[in-house]
Structure 1
Amino acid sequence: MDKDGRKLLSRQQRKAKVNALIAQIAAYPYWEKVLTELGLQKAPQISPNLAELMQQAAQRGKGAGESEEHRKLKMFVKNNPHVISVNRNCRSATEHPLISGDRLDVLFSNKDLLVAVEVKSHVSDEADLMRGLFQCVKYQAVLEAELRSKLAIGEVRTVLVSTRELTPELLRVKNILGVEFIELPRLHE
């Protein structure tokens, strides 16, 4: 896209164009020939348990309440916005309600920016982290829709924060979905 074209498109329109281009690139039928010609090997495929992991994440739904570790991590992020590169002049709230009926663990906001944070502590398993990745995708879409419905202009950012490292499989899903992830050290009292 040229500079003039980018100026005419909204952030969402640019993102949609880039995603369409990525899909076209991924659908190119001759990648194996290209890799062979360049002397490269095909990337390893996602392991067979990915479908099962996604199924487990889908069955989780809403939890039975938050753990103490989750609450501590949520409050740490709220009180330390710099860990996710948010300026202190943003307002912050926990359990912020969305029109979709969801609640954000942490929301930072000012007149030009909304940053939604989903937190997963070290007690979260792989399925819960997978669910967190998809929650971020949903929160991004819902917040952008809320802004549009109010005819407001602003940037929306969603971040998954965890004190657990992503497995290679989850890291690959994170990259495919374009979710921002920040790993923090485990909190100690």
Structure 2
Amino acid sequence: MKTSIVGKYDLLEGNKLYQARARVALPYLVKQAEARQTIYYSDLAKILEMPNPRNLNYVLGVIGNAMKELSLSIDIKIPPIQCIAISKRTNLPGDGISWFIDIADYSTRSPSQQKEFLDAMLAEIYLFPYWREVLNVLGLDPIHIDLQEDLHKATKIRSGGESESHRKFKEFVSKNPLVLGLKDSLPEGILEHVLPSADVIDVLFIDQSLKIGVEVKSIISTPEDILRGIFQCVKYKHLIEAKQIVDNELPNSRIILALEGRLPEKFIIAKNLLGIEVIDNILMS
């Protein structure tokens, strides 16, 4: 693969901050593509240590231009991987993506039409088999995570009964959906909701057809217990939606890991790859 054309867009050698950030961001987007997961702008901005996610448009624009020019130079269509980054509010990429896709008037289409287009683009991105080769051509290293020690510790956790700290935090969250960014008008969350597998999720909010499950970890939770919570959320999402399916409902759920403390930095990539929403540093008032 040739890189000369890509170089003119300064992905490889540009010394501006947004260009350097693009070189950091692309391997993360590739990792998300391999995991078949989107990533919120806010989460990507946090990885890149950007205080304002709105400035990602420059970063993603550099990546988009590089992918277009690399496609031309090797005569292989490279999907617009920047589509993986989406807004938490709309679950869609920003209008700037219209410069990089072959869909007329994308920005004027309805949200439902844009979602259909996004799903089609994501399928192309997830199935593209040469992302590692793209990184190699650009001289960028793939992302590798190693949580084996933490995972081993997580498997050794045994329940010793509910702590007072966990109980208080759980009850606080159930009565205060606003701390999770949910509507204040929601009914109080159901505590200790039992799923058909006999697993128990700490809090369940019901917003019409949407079920919002919340696993909570109080201030005394260890890092390995927080990692365990991430995996619990993966399980709960599948269980809640399985129940919806057999109840003749459309699967429609959202799962949140609510932390009274801070999410350890070493788990940020893992939670993004697994598609788990984490809200941390929640203050009980």
Q: CA deviation at 1:82?
A: 1.0
- SS of 2:198's equivalent in the other structure is coil
**Structure 1 partner of 2:166:** 70
Q: Calculate the TM-score normalised by the size of structure 2.
A: 0.54
Provide closer, same or farther for how the CA distance between residues 176 and 26 of structure 1 changes in structure 2, counting only shifts above 3 A: farther
1:120-165 CA distances to partner (integer Å, 9 max, x unpaired)? 0111111101110011111100001000011113520000000221
**Structure 2 partner of 1:42:** 141
* Separation in structure 2 between the aligned mates of residue 5 and residue 185 of structure 1, nearest angstrom: 32
Provide closer, same or farther for how the CA distance between residues 74 and 25 of structure 1 changes in structure 2, counting only shifts above 3 A: farther
Q: Calculate the TM-score normalised by the size of structure 1.
A: 0.78
- SS of 1:71's equivalent in the other structure is helix
Q: Could you tell me whether the CA contact under 8 Å between 1:120 and 1:162 is conserved in 2?
A: yes
**Structure 1 partner of 2:136:** 33
**Structure 1 partner of 2:149:** 52
Q: Could you tell me whether the CA contact under 8 Å between 2:209 and 2:252 is conserved in 1?
A: yes
Question: 155, 162, 180: which is aligned to 1:84?
Answer: 180
Q: CA deviation at 1:169?
A: 1.7
Question: 191, 208, 211: which is aligned to 1:111?
Answer: 208
Provide closer, same or farther for how the CA distance between residues 24 and 66 of structure 1 changes in structure 2, counting only shifts above 3 A: same
Q: Could you tell me whether the CA contact under 8 Å between 1:111 and 1:154 is conserved in 2?
A: no
Question: 108, 129, 134: which is aligned to 2:226?
Answer: 129
* Separation in structure 2 between the aligned mates of residue 22 and residue 126 of structure 1, nearest angstrom: 33
How many corresponding residue pairs? 173
Q: Which structure: larger Rg?
A: 2
**What does 1:153-164 correspond to in 2, within 5 Å?**
153=250, 155-164=252-261
Q: CA deviation at 1:25?
A: 5.2
Query: Which structure 1 residue ranges, 5 or more long, are not aligned?
Result: 8-13
Q: Could you tell me whether the CA contact under 8 Å between 2:177 and 2:186 is conserved in 1?
A: no
Q: Could you tell me whether the CA contact under 8 Å between 2:179 and 2:282 is conserved in 1?
A: no
* Separation in structure 2 between the aligned mates of residue 26 and residue 51 of structure 1, nearest angstrom: 27
Larger strand fraction of residues: 1
Provide closer, same or farther for how the CA distance between residues 64 and 34 of structure 1 changes in structure 2, counting only shifts above 3 A: same
Query: Which structure 2 residue ranges, 5 or more long, are not aligned?
Result: 1-100, 104-112
* Counterpart residue type for residue 115 of structure 1: I
1:106-130 CA distances to partner (integer Å, 9 max, x unpaired)? 1101431110000001111111011
% same residue: 33
1:50-98 CA distances to partner (integer Å, 9 max, x unpaired)? 112112212325x111111111110110110111122223352100100
* Separation in structure 2 between the aligned mates of residue 167 and residue 117 of structure 1, nearest angstrom: 19
Q: CA deviation at 1:33?
A: 2.6
* Separation in structure 2 between the aligned mates of residue 132 and residue 27 of structure 1, nearest angstrom: 33
Provide closer, same or farther for how the CA distance between residues 21 and 164 of structure 1 changes in structure 2, counting only shifts above 3 A: farther
* Separation in structure 1 between the aligned mates of residue 174 and residue 260 of structure 2, nearest angstrom: 15
**Structure 2 partner of 1:11:** none
